[in-house]
Amino acid sequence: MPLDLPLDTPGSDLVLDAEAGIRRSLLPGGVRLLTQTDRSVRSASVGFWLPVGSRDESPQHAGSTHVLEHLLFKGTDRRSAMDIAAAFDEVGGESNAVTAKEHTFYYGRVRSSDVPMAVDVLTDMITSSRLADEALETEREVILEELAMAADDPGDIGYETFLEQVIGPGTALGRPVGGTAETVSALGGGDVRDHYRQHYRPDTLVVTAVGDVDHDGLRDLVLERLAAGGWELPDSAAPAPRPAPADLPERDGTAQVLDLAPHRLVRDTEQVHVYLGGPGLSATDPARHTMNVLMSILGGGMSSRLFQHIREERGLAYSVYSFSGGYREAGLFGLYAACRPSRTEEVVALLREELAELGRTGPTPEEMRRALGQITGSLALGLEDTTSRMGRLGSTELIHGRYASVDETISRIAAVTEHDVRELAERLAGSFTTRVDIGPAA
């Protein structure tokens, strides 16, 4: 059975999975530490997670979380930007960061003997970055180039636009993670520093590590380096509550996909990139495993219905697939295809019909067998590397608040039935709200 991960027990230490070597401790200051010790490898991945993403920004400061993530690599009181980069390069390691809608994540992967260095550098960045105005001015130009590059990519701009239209234009969750050129250009150093002070705190920090690591030794090291960075770490402090779901505007779905007026983005491309879909399931919805099975059958690989019927049998598209995504209180599902402009409406009709047919008749036993094998196999293979396992621990703590072993997760996936898939497909086939087309002017 999944184990709850309480926040109201400062100083607690839980063995979440003795066989897998997974432990969780609540440290002074409310810091959370989750580790998986694996002596079969000679490396380790270490991550520092904060539950702040683009959805936590005000409209006028959209993009500030992403800007802050960039600036943490640009120098601390002890290290220059070059020092930070060289620290990992000179040991053959890697470091990076990710800003998402609901969290920010800094991580490093190194040999186990270099874990103290990785923790030292990452805690230095988290606690003591200078966030200097001159660094902001330089990095602002880099980020504007990054946004321009995304705008040139039909996949990037198409998905962001599709998500915004499904979740709700103008909502915090619907806004692009990187903000816009206008909001990023207007950000001042004070805005970024205020954002840091509000969200980067011990009681929001989650530290995860997987590989050849010692939990107790890492605990002492993390506390030592956080204290050296000036963070106060009282023994009695508990972690901040996990963010609660927010209210989002209601969206009316319709099965009449062909009547949906597309949201058009004109680009000088040879193909039209079509995104079609609507509201899906939240990240914690019990039916999320059914959604994964459905997406696998519908458009999750070369044996899927969309690939076989639209590409292989009719030759109407080269790239065609289905996808889904989930957040605290909302989610989305989508169908994607890229085709020549003259074929767009035919492809849209086929996308709609494949989902509707799955809702009418359900999947075949052979499709269920393939989908369950694909999902469970991909899960197992993906967890062979320490970075993927570290990411799983982070999402377990930040999003779910409950720990389920890999075997328990696989059992839940295997319990999905043909009826479950048919029922969800029928529901989604009547839930289309959004169509986004990216391509040449009509």
Mean pLDDT, residues 111-120: 99
Residue 97 within any structural domain of the chain: yes
Number of folded domains in the chain? 2
Domain boundary among 185, 210, 229: 229
Domain check: are 406 and 350 in the same one?
yes
Mean pLDDT, residues 227-237: 97
Domain check: are 211 and 338 in the same one?
no
pLDDT at 255 (0 to 100): 42
pLDDT at 135 (0 to 100): 97
* pLDDT one-digit tens code per residue, 347-369: 999 999 999 999 999 999 999 99
Using the predicted structure, report yes or no on whether residue 251 has a pLDDT greater than 80: no
The Cα 322–Cα 355 span in angstroms is 10
Instruction: Tell me which residue of 165, 161, 162, 157 sits closest to 251, measured CA to CA.
Output: 165
pLDDT band at 126 (very low <50, low <70, confident <90, very high): very high
Domain boundary among 193, 213, 229: 229
Domain check: are 165 and 272 in the same one?
no
Using the predicted structure, report yes or no on whether residue 442 has a pLDDT greater than 80: no
* pLDDT one-digit tens code per residue, 5-36: 999 889 999 999 999 999 999 999 999 999 99
The Cα 10–Cα 29 span in angstroms is 9
Using the predicted structure, report yes or no on whether residue 253 has a pLDDT greater than 60: no
Mean pLDDT across the chain, nearest whole number?
Answer: 95
Domain check: are 85 and 169 in the same one?
yes
pLDDT band at 173 (very low <50, low <70, confident <90, very high): very high
Mean pLDDT, residues 320-342: 97
Active-site residue flag, 346: no
Q: What are phi and psi of 249, to 5 degrees?
A: -65, 145
More confident residue, 248 or 403: 403
Residue 285 within any structural domain of the chain: yes
Residue 236 within any structural domain of the chain: no
Domain check: are 297 and 221 in the same one?
no
pLDDT > 90: what percent of the chain? 91
Task: Provide the residue range defining the domain that includes 279.
Answer: 257-439
Using the predicted structure, report yes or no on whether residue 256 has a pLDDT greater than 50: no
The Cα 144–Cα 148 span in angstroms is 6
pLDDT band at 419 (very low <50, low <70, confident <90, very high): very high
Domain check: are 159 and 40 in the same one?
yes
Q: At what angle do helices 288-299 and 365-382 cross, to 10 degrees?
A: 110
Query: What letter does residue 400 receive in the DSSP assignment?
Result: I
Using the predicted structure, report yes or no on whether residue 140 has a pLDDT greater than 50: yes
Mean pLDDT, residues 60-67: 97
Q: Is 419 exposed, middle or buried (0-12, 13-18, 19+ CB in 10 A)?
A: exposed
Per-position b or e across 252-283, b if 16+ CB within 10 A of its CB: eeeeebeebebbebebeeebbbbbbbbbbbbb
Using the predicted structure, report yes or no on whether residue 232 has a pLDDT greater than 60: yes
Domain check: are 167 and 206 in the same one?
yes
* pLDDT one-digit tens code per residue, 307-325: 999 999 999 999 999 999 9
Using the predicted structure, report yes or no on whether residue 326 has a pLDDT greater than 60: yes
Domain check: are 84 and 186 in the same one?
yes
The catalytic residue among 69, 102, 367, 397 is 69
Domain check: are 202 and 328 in the same one?
no
We report the CATH number of the domain holding residue 133 as 3.30.830.10
How distant, in Å, are the alpha carbons of 4, 32, 89, 223, 338 from that of 150? Answer: 39, 34, 27, 39, 18
Instruction: Tell me which residue of 4, 3, 27 sits closest to 216, measured CA to CA.
Output: 27
Residue 241 within any structural domain of the chain: no
**Encoding tokens for residue 181?**
């050129």
pLDDT at 233 (0 to 100): 97
* pLDDT one-digit tens code per residue, 177-198: 999 999 999 999 999 999 999 9
Q: What are phi and psi of 12, to 5 degrees?
A: -70, 155
Using the predicted structure, report yes or no on whether residue 254 has a pLDDT greater than 50: no
Domain check: are 218 and 335 in the same one?
no
